[in-house]
Amino acid sequence: MEMLRNEQIQVRDPFVYVDENEGKYYLFGSTDKNIWGPGTGFDVYIGGNLETWEGPFPVFRPNDEFYSDENFWAPEVHRYQEKYYMFATFLRKDNQKRGTGILVSDKLTGPFVMHSIEPVTPKEWYSLDGTLYVDENRDPWIVFCHEWVQVGDGEICAQRLSLDLKETVNEPIVLFQASDAAWPTAFNHDRFPNQDNFVTDGTFMFKASNGELVMLWASFIDNIYAQGISKSTTGKITGPWKHQKAPLYVNDGGHGMLFRTFSNQLMLTLHRPNKTPLERPIFIKITEADGVLRVEE
């Protein structure tokens, strides 16, 4: 099989699972050629150096009973209780609203199959980009975005999950709105013609070396996609959350996540540019000291 370079791979919302046992990186993401339309499924690319990859290998293809056939976005894969769980966004067939569903597999290469019987985010909400966070009590949470298309000022929310990850428990908690941060820029839209609108995208949770709880999320500055950072002032998922004044990355790239390479280098991956079908996975070295993240010079 021919190896593919990063510039040959069209992917949005890249997510890397590091398999230390195999010495391999697994690159997941939104891999449909037109992610805005009918959903084909999700693929994975496998490599050892973050430069060249084997694949694509199909890891999820829906059956006729699946609850969505459109907008297959932002798959993340997490190891939890001896299985691999995929959190991904889907447009529901029953009410045409987006939400995050949970799939499961015994292997990183799939096949991933339905775990939750429907998306676990609130049924009547437009939601996307759910990620898994397990708190200090070992309770699982989903952290996700309540979309600007419904609320105008996009929100980041958290909701407890059942221990088996099949459903949510309790009510969702709004952690913050996009406009609470200083850096996102408002835009006008016909949906909300008399107000400023702000995007929230791509949540990802990270524990800094000093124990601080950090969240990555994306928005726009003058219509340019950018990657922001917020911190919980209590170390708990419920916050309160303090927002870094300037984004971590502003060059039309975002929906990022952090991981460590086999040499322990902290790495940010995101897609750039934010335009289909040109988006590609980008890998950026990051330094972290006392909870402060910076792009390595």
Extents of the domains making up the chain: 4-295
Topology annotation, domain 4-295? Tachylectin-2; Chain A (2.115.10)
Report whether 148 contacts 129 (CB < 8 A).
no
DSSP string, 203-255: EEEEE-TTS-EEEEEEEEETTEEEEEEEEESSSSTT--EEE-SS-SB-SS-EE
User: What pLDDT is attached to residue 234?
Assistant: 98
pLDDT in tens, the chain (297 residues): 789 999 999 999 999 999 999 999 999 999 999 999 999 999 999 999 999 999 999 999 999 999 999 999 999 999 999 999 999 999 999 999 999 999 999 999 999 999 999 999 999 999 999 999 999 999 999 999 999 999 999 999 999 999 999 999 999 999 999 999 999 999 988 877 878 999 999 999 999 999 999 999 999 999 999 999 999 999 999 999 999 999 999 999 999 999 999 999 999 999 999 999 999 999 999 999 999 999 997
Residues 15, 26 contacting (CB under 8 angstroms): no
pLDDT number for residue 185: 97
- Looking at residue 191, its pLDDT comes to 77
In one-letter notation, the amino acid at residue 102 is: I
Ramachandran bin of 13, using left for φ above 0, alpha for ψ from -120 to 50, beta for the remaining angles: left
* In the block, residue with structure tokens 């909701």: 159
* pLDDT of the residue at 113: 98
Instruction: Report pLDDT for 189.
Output: 81
Predicted confidence at residue 194, as pLDDT, reads 79
Tokens 């990022």 locate to: 256
**Please, are residues 227 and 201 in contact by the beta-carbon 8 Å criterion?**
no
80/134 Cα distance (integer angstroms): 9
**pLDDT for position 297:** 74
Instruction: Tokens 């699972």: give the residue.
Output: 17
